[in-house]
Amino acid sequence: MSNTTKNLIEEIFNRQDQQDKSVGELKHINKLFQESEKAKQAKEFVFGEKLESLKGQFSSFFTRKPAESQGAV
């Protein structure tokens, strides 16, 4: 195995490790914060249609609906 291939494999594993840690931390934060009534109201508005053009400029990771994120986060 060449050094370039070895470095590439190591980089992929490191990136995967970082992603796993990030997802774990995000899960932890989600559990930590109790959802307030105001948050529920805000979610109804934000995940409605009014902000579509603004939200369309963000990634699908950021803008996915809560039901879609339950399995992944």
Partner 1 sequence: MKVVRVSDLKYKSEFEAPFYCVLSDESNRREMGCANLAFLNLELLLRRQINIKNEMTAFDIWEANRASLPEDEVQAVSFENAMNFLDTREIFDGFRMLVLNPNGMVPEVFFEIALRRLLQGQVALAMLEVPDKAGDKPILKVNHLAVIHSEEGEVYLDGLKLDLETFIKILYYSPLSTLMFFAKNKVGR
How many residues would you count in the chain?
A: 73
29 binds partner 1 (CB under 8 A): yes
The minimum distance between CB 16 and partner 1, in angstroms, equals 13
Q: How far apart are CA 42 and CA 22, in angstroms?
A: 25
Is the Cβ of residue 2 or residue 60 nearer to partner 1 in the bound state?
60
How many angstroms separate the Cα of 57 from the Cα of each of 32, 47, 54, 72?
28, 14, 6, 21
71 binds partner 1 (CB under 8 A): no
What letter does residue 51 receive in the DSSP assignment? T
Applying CB under 8 A, what is the total number of residues that bind partner 1? 35
4 binds partner 1 (CB under 8 A): no
14 binds partner 1 (CB under 8 A): no
